[in-house]
C-alpha cells in the first residue's frame, strides 16, 4: 500500500513538475492523509493554490486567515504573527528552518518533487498523518 501510494505520489509529482495544477493535486493528496482532529480549513498566501484547492472534498478553503486552521505558505516575507497559532505547511524547504512551527513541505529539488514531514512538529501540534506519509517523515530539518 505504502509503495503504491508512493508511486502514485511520485507519478503525480512528476506530472506536477510541468504544471501548477499538478502541484495542487499533490498538495490535495497530502492533506487528504493528514488529520488535526477537526475539519481542515486551509488558507494560503498563494491565490493560485487557494483557487486550485477550491473544489477539494477533503477540506475547506477559507478566504480569511482567521478562519483557517492550516496555512500553506509559499513565501517567507508574507509571514505574519497571526500564523503562530496555525499549522503551517510550506512550499520551500528553507522555510522549514525559518518557520519553526511549519510541520511539512512540498518542494522541487533538482527537478524532482520532494515531500518532508517533520515528525516532532506534527506531534507537538497534534497532527496525525496516515502511514502513507511515513516515508517522508524526518526527525529534523537538515
Site residues (vs other proteins, CB under 8 A): 6-7, 10-11, 13-15, 17-18, 93, 108-116, 135-136, 138, 142
Q: In this structure, what is the dihedral angle of CA atoms 51, 53, 55, 60, given to the nearest 10 degrees? A: -110
Residue closest to 60 by CA, chosen among 73, 42, 44: 42
Smaller CB separation from other proteins, 68 or 96: 96
Q: What is the enclosing helix (H) or strand (E) of 39?
A: none
Smaller CB separation from other proteins, 7 or 130: 7
Q: How far is the CB of 89 from other proteins (least distance, A)?
A: 16
**Pairing label, strands 34-35, 60-61:** unpaired
Smaller CB separation from other proteins, 88 or 116: 116
C-alpha cell at 20: 501548477
Hey, which bits of 1-142 come out as E strands? 34-35, 41-44, 60-61, 70-73, 87-90, 102-109, 112-118, 128-129, 137-138
Q: How far is the CB of 128 from other proteins (least distance, A)?
A: 20
Smaller CB separation from other proteins, 31 or 136: 136
Q: How far is the CB of 102 from other proteins (least distance, A)?
A: 15
User: Which of helix, strand or coil describes residue 37?
Assistant: coil
Q: How far is the CB of 57 from other proteins (least distance, A)?
A: 26
Smaller CB separation from other proteins, 28 or 56: 28
Q: How far is the CB of 137 from other proteins (least distance, A)?
A: 9
Amino acid at each position: 500500500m505504502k509503495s503504491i501510494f508512493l508511486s502514485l505520489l511520485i507519478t503525480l509529482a512528476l506530472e506536477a513538475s510541468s504544471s501548477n495544477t499538478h502541484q495542487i493535486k499533490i498538495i490535495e493528496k497530502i492533506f487528504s492523509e493528514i488529520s488535526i482532529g477537526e475539519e481542515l480549513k486551509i488558507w494560503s498566501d498563494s491565490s493560485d493554490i487557494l483557487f486550485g484547492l477550491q473544489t477539494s472534498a477533503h477540506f475547506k478553503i477559507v478566504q480569511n486567515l482567521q478562519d483557517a486552521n492550516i496555512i500553506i505558505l509559499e513565501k517567507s516575507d508574507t509571514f505574519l504573527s497571526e500564523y503562530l497559532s496555525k499549522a503551517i505547511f510550506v512550499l520551500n524547504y528553507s522555510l522549514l528552518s525559518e518557520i519553526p512551527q511549519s510541520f511539512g513541505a512540498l518542494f522541487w529539488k533538482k527537478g524532482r518533487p520532494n515531500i518532508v514531514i517533520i515528525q516532532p512538529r506534527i506531534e507537538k501540534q497534534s497532527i496525525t498523518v496516515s502511514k502513507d506519509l511515513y516515508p517522508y517523515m524526518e526527525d529534523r530539518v537538515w
